Amino acid sequence: MSDAAILGGLGVFGLILVLIGLVVYFIPTIVAVKRDHPNKVAIICVDIFLGWSFLGWVVALVWALKNPE
């Protein structure tokens, strides 16, 4: 197997990992949009700006899953 084929395979694998990571990162956003949460814009902002920290991601996810009163 040539070096180019190995590097190409690693590139595809890396791209798949990045896409999976992005989907996981935006789970709170996806949940808020699918549930048509009244605070979805705020949840999206928290997810984008604080989702990199685990605490911010969990807060956004809990908020997205919380039933509006």
**Residue type for position 43:** I
Cβ(37)–Cβ(69) under 8 Å? Answer: no
Is the pTM value of this prediction over 0.95? Answer: no
Residue 59 has pLDDT above 90, yes or no: yes
Residue 21 has pLDDT above 90, yes or no: yes
**Mean pLDDT, the chain, as a whole number?**
90
Please tell me the predicted confidence (pLDDT) of residue 28. 98
Residue 45 has pLDDT above 70, yes or no: yes
Residue 3 has pLDDT above 70, yes or no: no
